[in-house]
Amino acid sequence: MKNLFLFLTLLVLSVSATAQENQTQQDSTKTQKLDEVLVKAVRVNATSPITHTNVKKEEIAKRNLGQDIPMLLNYLPSVVSSSDAGAGVGYTYLRVRGSDATRVNVTINGIPYNDSESQGTFWVNLGDFASSTQSLQLQRGVGTSTNGSGAFGASLNILTDAISEKAGGEISNSFGSYGTRKHTVKFTTGKINDHFEFAGRLSKIDSDGYVDRAFTDLKSYFLQGSYFDDNTLIKAISFGGKEQTYQAWAGLSADQLKEDRRQNPYTYENETDNFWQDHYQLHWNERIDANWSTNIGLNYTRGKGYFEQFKDDRDAADYNNLIVDGSDVIVRRWLDNHFYVVNGNVTFKDGKLEVISGVSFNTFTNDHYGEVIWGSDLAPNVEIRDRYYFSASDKTDWSVFSKATYSISNKLKAFVDVQGRFVNYKTKGLTSNRAPINVDENFSFFNPKFGLTYKLNNANSLYASYARANKEPNRNDYESNGDDVTHESLNDFELGWRFVGDKIRINANVYYMDYNNQLVLTGAIDNVGEYLRENVKDSYRLGLEVDANINLTEKLMFNSNIAISENKIKNLVIDRDGGPKNFGNTTLAFSPSFISGNSLVFMPAKNVQLSLLGKYVSDQYLSNTDTKASKIDGYFVSDFNVVYEIETNKIFKSIILKGLVNNIFNKEYVDRGYTYLNTWSGPTAIEEQGYYPQATTNFLLGVTLKF
């Protein structure tokens, strides 16, 4: 690893010293537009009747000191972020409007990133990916048609680094609390012979974690080669990495939280998660003429890894009789998968009309199996690494869509988007609990969307939209519910107002998300920390979101967003205390009714920026029953961010110093947890909870040398 860093450092210096700096701004604009075609099919523009937020590279960079993308997006409207280890490094999570990662569709350059089976997003496999992100767009609600797992609460599409006109590079190092360290080297050749560019990044992130022994070790890379001219862009991209994290999935009980909020119930020294993932993408964008353009995207993802666990006093039957009853055992549970994607779309634009049509196909295979790697008393003729369960999964997902935007008049614009999505999912064998699983399901979904945008004047516009979404169950749903699970549907209604003034920008919208058979989180988790879900017939989310950016003076800016919502299940009936119980209308789990993010930004000089940030999340429930036991308190935390750029004339183009102090008021809080019924407590079951404590005051300091 040290040799690779040294090599890239020397390459950066060499490229910087020999670069030719005679490219024009016009060329830069052309290549930037070609880059944006990679995500044009899944993104919307500023006048679209879709509720969204754009984040540029410059905004991401201010706080990019090692924390994962969910933590960097924490201050966007209706967003709540969390992490297992408590400090924002390792396993991190993102919720939008109360919807968790399984319903937030994520694409990278238009390629689906969500895991096909679990439908979740594992940012831990993309260490320091923010350093290779050009821009991203978060669409709240159903949004526009996208590729891969259907968006059911939000969609996040990421565009990776654009082509650089000039050669250069950077070396970034940051250090902070809990032994957190990030080391990044980037380079770009700039334009070579007016048509080629090569760029790359190598990163290493380590953290001991706020939670005891919840360490993280992330190694990642990003490489791209590009060919381009006035009408063509071809990009070959490879990125991925290796992660090892010590498990903190168990959380803490209320008593443990009071005793020592940093303790970790796991004691086995190698209770770790280990995973390798590599992505290979090829994109070809072609501008045929002034009206027509095309894009083809190919992807192959290879993933493999395991987590290791120690269990004491086990029953032999739970491990296929590979051990003797009462034996201690160490197991590794493996995933071994391949993911292939083909995307293609064509765009027609002529005056008032723009039409984008496309097709996406992906196929996913995954082997699930567990090995016994040690036992205090193995059964006769058993060898280390003998398997105690196995199942194989196959999933195909293809969709076709066409979306059109038409300017009816100078003031009125219409948007229509129709998508057909067709899914087949098969899995057969044994689960990790050695329970049979046998699924062969086909789903056919029709997802229409349409909306209007009306321009009142140069400063004000209104929009309204309707979107339909359907989503299939994931593997965990079949494991925990058997055949008693079905797909879910959503009707999303959005009404918004946008104001753009000289010093003030405001986005405000009201949404109503009406669900049928929503797969809601029950609050319980399985043995790998994944939340369990079950269908409820009728539920909804009704909310108001306001996002404002105000330039108070030339040097002082105030940004604020609030989200007020009601998130309800109608007539919840569940089995409790020996029979069905009707709880009436209850609050959806993990759905706070008030979320606010604020920042006060002061720029005393051109190259200095000071930001005071605040985040408030109201009370929320860990289950859907509105019980006092499952309620976690709201919290308010504040961060302080400083960026100071020194422009130099020798060796470096600039030196950027960054500092981030998180939770400056030392708030002790939990933002996530789980709940389950202790049925051994007597005739009436008692709810018991687990909590994930987040870090108190902590800091990160970094320096970036740009060449």
Nearest to 532 by CA among 549, 517, 520, 547: 520
Average pLDDT for 614-638: 95
Nearest to 435 by CA among 465, 408, 375, 475: 475
CB 563 within 8 A of CB 596: yes
pLDDT at 146 over 90: no
User: What is the rounded distance in angstroms from the CA atom of residue 64 to the CA atom of residue 92?
Assistant: 15
pLDDT at 1 over 90: no
Least confident of 241-245, 355-359, 481-485: 481-485
CB 91 within 8 A of CB 124: yes
Backbone angles phi, psi at 354, to 5 degrees: -135, 130
The sign one gets for the Cα dihedral 594, 80, 566, 532 is negative
> HSE (CB half, 13 Å, CA atoms) of 597?
17
Average pLDDT for 519-523: 93
User: What is the rounded distance in angstroms from the CA atom of residue 60 to the CA atom of residue 130?
Assistant: 7
pLDDT at 9 over 80: no
User: What is the rounded distance in angstroms from the CA atom of residue 281 to the CA atom of residue 179?
Assistant: 34
Average pLDDT for 131-150: 91
395-419 residue pLDDT tens: 999 999 999 999 999 999 999 999 9
Beta strands, E only, 501-530: 504-525
In this prediction, residue 579 has a pLDDT band, given cuts at 50, 70 and 90, of: confident
CB 563 within 8 A of CB 543: yes
Nearest to 113 by CA among 65, 210, 42, 167: 42
Backbone angles phi, psi at 256, to 5 degrees: -65, -35
179-195 residue pLDDT tens: 999 999 999 999 999 99
Tell me, what amino acid is at 488? E
Nearest to 599 by CA among 643, 565, 564, 569: 643
Three-class DSSP category at 646: strand
Question: Encoding tokens for residue 212?
Answer: 């005891």
In this prediction, residue 559 has a pLDDT band, given cuts at 50, 70 and 90, of: very high
Nearest to 152 by CA among 467, 419, 400: 467
Highest mean pLDDT among 287-291, 482-486, 615-619: 615-619
pLDDT at 74 over 80: yes
pLDDT at 520 over 80: yes
305-347 residue pLDDT tens: 999 999 999 999 999 999 999 999 999 999 999 999 999 999 9
pLDDT at 92 over 60: yes
pLDDT at 20 over 70: no
Backbone angles phi, psi at 113, to 5 degrees: -110, -25
- What is the reported pLDDT for 25? 42
DSSP output for 199-230: EEEEEEEEE--SSTT--EEEEEEEEEEEEE-S
Three-class DSSP category at 70: helix
How many distinct helices (H) and strands (E) make up the chain?
6, 34
Question: Encoding tokens for residue 623?
Answer: 């289950």
Tell me, what amino acid is at 84? D
What is the CATH classification number for the domain harbouring 225? 2.40.170.20
Tell me, what amino acid is at 651? I
Find the length of the chain: 707
How many other C-beta atoms are found inside a 10 Å radius of the C-beta of residue 274?
17
- The distance from CA 545 to its chain's CA centroid, rounded to whole angstroms, is 21
Backbone angles phi, psi at 315, to 5 degrees: -85, 135
- What is the reported pLDDT for 35? 76
User: What is the rounded distance in angstroms from the CA atom of residue 488 to the CA atom of residue 473?
Assistant: 8
pLDDT at 4 over 80: no
Average pLDDT for 426-450: 96
User: What is the rounded distance in angstroms from the CA atom of residue 425 to the CA atom of residue 445?
Assistant: 14
The sign one gets for the Cα dihedral 3, 208, 335, 475 is negative
In this prediction, residue 433 has a pLDDT band, given cuts at 50, 70 and 90, of: very high
Nearest to 434 by CA among 353, 525, 362, 368: 368
In this prediction, residue 149 has a pLDDT band, given cuts at 50, 70 and 90, of: confident
Burial 541-553, CB ≥16 within 10 A → b, else e: bebebbbbbeeee
User: What is the rounded distance in angstroms from the CA atom of residue 47 to the CA atom of residue 341?
Assistant: 30
DSSP label at residue 623: S
How many other C-beta atoms are found inside a 10 Å radius of the C-beta of residue 47?
15
Nearest to 16 by CA among 589, 654, 702: 654
Average pLDDT for 580-595: 93
User: What is the rounded distance in angstroms from the CA atom of residue 475 to the CA atom of residue 479?
Assistant: 6
Q: Which has more pLDDT, 497 or 249?
A: 497
* pTM more than 0.85: yes
Q: Which residues contact 411 (CB under 8 A, 6 or more apart)?
A: 454, 455, 456
- What is the reported pLDDT for 525? 87
Three-class DSSP category at 671: strand
pLDDT at 679 over 90: no
Instruction: State the average pLDDT for the chain.
Output: 92
Question: Encoding tokens for residue 424?
Answer: 């087949």
Total number of domains in the chain: 1
pLDDT at 8 over 70: no
Long-range Cβ contact pairs of 527-533 (< 8 A, separation 24 or more): 527/432, 527/433, 528/249, 528/307, 528/333, 529/84, 529/247, 529/249, 529/250, 530/118, 530/120, 530/476, 531/100, 531/674, 532/476, 532/480, 533/102, 533/476, 533/477, 533/480
Question: Encoding tokens for residue 90?
Answer: 């390792």
Average pLDDT for 136-141: 96
Long-range Cβ contact pairs of 259-266 (< 8 A, separation 24 or more): 261/668, 261/693, 262/86, 262/210, 262/211, 262/212, 262/693, 263/211, 263/212, 264/211, 264/212, 264/213, 264/214, 266/213
User: What is the rounded distance in angstroms from the CA atom of residue 294 to the CA atom of residue 357?
Assistant: 10
- Identify the domain containing residue 666 by its residue range: 2-706
- What is the reported pLDDT for 27? 47
